[in-house]
Every structure is written in C-alpha cells, then in structure tokens.
Structure 1
C-alpha cells in the first residue's frame, strides 16, 4: 500500500516512523522550514498546485491512502486534500491532535481571527506572538505594543513592524526555559493558536505559572472526513 503523508507536525513524523517499514511511504512538506528534519522516507517539498495539481499527483504517484498530518491551522491544505481525494477516489484520513483546554489558573481569551486581538491587549504591553511568522500580517493593528515572534530559521527579512523583533529558537522548549524567556523579555501577554499536543504546551504552562493572560485562536472548520486523534489510532486505521 502506498501512503502519502502530508507532514510537518511531530505527530506526522512519529507516524512515518511507525509505518515506514510496513508501507511504501511518501512524505510531503510545504517547505516553510529551510532545514527540515530527515523523515527517513521519500520526501517531496513544496506545494502541489491546488486541488487539480494534487489530483494529478495522486494519480501519477499511484497513491492508495492520504494521511493529512498537517498543522490543525493549515486549513487550505486540509480542504485541498479532502477535495482532491474525493475526486481521485483515494482513501483519506486526518491525523489531528486534540485541542488544548484551560486548566485551573489559566486566563484565556478566545478569538476567531487575530485581528480581534487589538481590542483585547492594551497599549504598552509586551506581547509574545507564539503563532509563527506566517501570521504576522494579521497583527498590524497592535501599534503601541512591543511584539516578539519566535522563528526556527534566522529571518531573511526584517520584522514587518518597527515595534517588534524576531527571536530565533528551535522547539521543543521546557516549561523552565519558557518561564525564563518570558521573565527575561518582560512578556505580559501570550498569543497562540489552539494547536494542541505536548511539544508547544510548555508556553501555556509557563504563562499559567506567571499569571499571564493568553489570547487563544479557535481552530478553523475542517472538512467532513475520517479523523483520528493519535498516532496509535492512525496506525490502526491504516491496518484496516
């Protein structure tokens, strides 16, 4: 069986490690990271060219199953994959980690879109944008706040706003590391997507320890499709 894994998350990497010996696996990466981790299988990098391009690839590569292991907020790719698989008649499953839920001591404010953050975070605040550089265009309204955004690769362009800067670092980070970072930078607000999982949960735990408020973006709507919530369940689904 030939399996295309739309990868990029730690869950997708773990799945590939579990199934590579049993199936013919191809991993697909969007190419957002300049030096991606070796996945130990055939890997393609870059987009497919929309739904039509993905349909053509599925047919050309003779793919039997597609596992969408992309980030929960990679909504366009998730919808493209669902539509392409429906057109090509290819079996399809979404591997998605469970979302985070607040615990005692958490102070979370939910938003649908990051443009809403302007009305929540007061001017003069120091804000850690734990959302990735691809979202920075959505924070143009945060004038009068000091902004920090962490990236994996050293940025090739300057921060898009004069009131902010990039911080370079490769996750995962421990709770202790995040607490130390927040204290050193004087972080007062944390902005994140509800990505779920354990690797990036530490910044939320650090915010709770420090009593920092969090702005949490809700997950986008996903297409009607089979969904599994763990690598173990995805392995079982493939075995069926």
Structure 2
C-alpha cells in the first residue's frame, strides 16, 4: 500500500518514522513538503517537494501514484491544503485521515484575547500594548503593516516576505524553545503583548507560560475548522494504527 503524508510538521515526520520502522513489510511512504522552509527536516521514506496544483491536481497525483491512504499532517493553520485534501480524497476515492496536534487551552492566570484571523488580531493590538512579540510566522505580516506606532519583534524560521510594520525587528529562530529563553526574550525586548496562532504542541508553548508569569496579554488566533466528516486524530501513534488497520483490511486472508 502506498501512503501519502502531507507533511511539514513534527507529527508528520514522527508518523513517517513509525511507518518506516515496520519496513521491509511496512507500506510505501511518501511525504510531501510544501517547500516554504529553506532547510526542512526531511523524514524517512520518499520525499517530494512542491504543490500539487490544487485539489484536482492532488486527486490526479493520488490516482497516478496508486495512493491507497492519505494523511494530512500539515500545520493546523494550513486550511487551504486541508480543504483540498478532503476534496481530492473524495474525488479519488482514497481514505483520508487528518493528524492534528491538540490546540492550547488557557489556564488560571492567562490573559487571552481570541481572534478569528490575523486581521482581527491586528485590530486588537492598539488597545493592548506597544511592544509586540509576533510569532505568527513569516507570512501574513501585511495585515500588521498599517500599524505605525507599535514596535514588533517578529520571530520566524525563515526571513519574512512582503510588507511589514515600519518598526520591526526580525529574529530568525526555530523551536523548540525553553522557558528560560522565552522569559529572557520578553524581558530583554520589553515586550508587553504577545500574538500567536493556536498552533498547539510543546515546542513553542513556553512563550505562553512566560507571558502568563509576566502578566502579559496574549492575542490567540483561532484555527480554521477541519472539513465536516473527516476523521481527526491527535497523535502520530493513532495515525500509524489507522494505517495498520487499513492495510490489514485490504490484505487477503490466508487459509
């Protein structure tokens, strides 16, 4: 069986590792990377880089390469890819599973302000602070560009592209991050408000703890919804079991 993983996340890489551990009796595994990160951490198995040309292009690729199972393990905010995956899987008749790490939840002491989009997050900032730690990635900065008064510290893996706020400092770094490191960063840059997407996971969660300890407001951008009717699991091990069960159902029984 050929399994296609739409990857680019820690969970996708871990799933590829789990499936590779079953070789040579395991499935053929291909991980697709969008190519937006200059030096991605490549998983075991076959790797392809680049887009498919939308849902129809993905459906054609599934058919051409005889894919039997599709796992969408992209970033929780890759909403377009997830919608395309659902459409392509239905078109090609390929079972689809979405692997999504759980989102963050506020705890006592958190001062969270939820936003439905980056634009809503930008609209909230003038009332919350003047020194902003922006951790929403290298894309989408254009919505914050009109904000001339706040100072922004933008952290991303690769250099941001396109318009950005006039008072911006860029910090290129990749998680996982430590709590001590996040505490020091907030202190050194005199941050008074944090903006983040609800990415979930432990690698970038220490910034939330550091903000809570400092009593800082946090603007949390909500995730886009997963298409209705699509099965979702939270752990790579659950996805690996789904693949194993699907392979078992398709394998001919021995007398």
Q: State if a TM-score over 0.5 links the two structures.
A: yes
Unaligned runs of 5+ in 2: 246-255
Counterpart position of 2:94: 90
How much has 1:235 moved relative to structure 2?
A: 1.5
Farther off after superposition, 61-70 or 31-40: 31-40
Aligned equivalent of 1:59, options 40, 59, 63: 63
Counterpart position of 2:85: 81
Counterpart-to-counterpart distance in 2, 1:18 and 1:185: 41
Question: Given that residues 116 and 221 in structure 2 are in contact (C-alpha distance below 8 angstroms), is that contact kept between their aligned partners in structure 1?
Answer: yes
Question: Given that residues 129 and 147 in structure 1 are in contact (C-alpha distance below 8 angstroms), is that contact kept between their aligned partners in structure 2?
Answer: yes
Aligned length: 239
How much has 1:158 moved relative to structure 2?
A: 7.7
Counterpart position of 2:169: 165
Q: Tell me the SS of whatever aligns to 1:108.
A: strand
RMSD: 1.6
Residues 83/122 of structure 1: CA separation in 2 closer, same or farther (3 Å cut): same
Question: Given that residues 142 and 163 in structure 2 are in contact (C-alpha distance below 8 angstroms), is that contact kept between their aligned partners in structure 1?
Answer: no
Counterpart position of 1:2: 2
| Matching of residue 13 in structure 1 with residue 13 in structure 2 | yes
- Residue-by-residue CA offset, 1:136-189 (whole Å, 9 max, x unaligned): 122234321001111213x27586232112111121111111111111111111
| Matching of residue 197 in structure 1 with residue 201 in structure 2 | yes
Residues 214/37 of structure 1: CA separation in 2 closer, same or farther (3 Å cut): same
- Residue-by-residue CA offset, 1:124-144 (whole Å, 9 max, x unaligned): 610011100112122234321
Stretches (4+) displaced over 4 A: 156-159
| Matching of residue 143 in structure 1 with residue 148 in structure 2 | yes
Counterpart-to-counterpart distance in 1, 2:205 and 2:161: 28
Residues 143/95 of structure 1: CA separation in 2 closer, same or farther (3 Å cut): same
Counterpart-to-counterpart distance in 1, 2:122 and 2:221: 13
After TM superposition, the score normalised by the length of structure 1 is 0.95
Counterpart position of 1:36: 40
Aligned equivalent of 1:131, options 136, 152, 156: 136
Q: Tell me the SS of whatever aligns to 2:126.
A: coil
Question: Given that residues 179 and 206 in structure 1 are in contact (C-alpha distance below 8 angstroms), is that contact kept between their aligned partners in structure 2?
Answer: yes
Q: Tell me the SS of whatever aligns to 1:133.
A: coil
| Matching of residue 183 in structure 1 with residue 174 in structure 2 | no
After TM superposition, the score normalised by the length of structure 2 is 0.89
Aligned equivalent of 2:234, options 206, 209, 229: 229
Counterpart position of 1:212: 216
Unaligned runs of 5+ in 1: none
Counterpart-to-counterpart distance in 2, 1:47 and 1:39: 18
Residues 36/106 of structure 1: CA separation in 2 closer, same or farther (3 Å cut): same
Rg larger in structure: 2
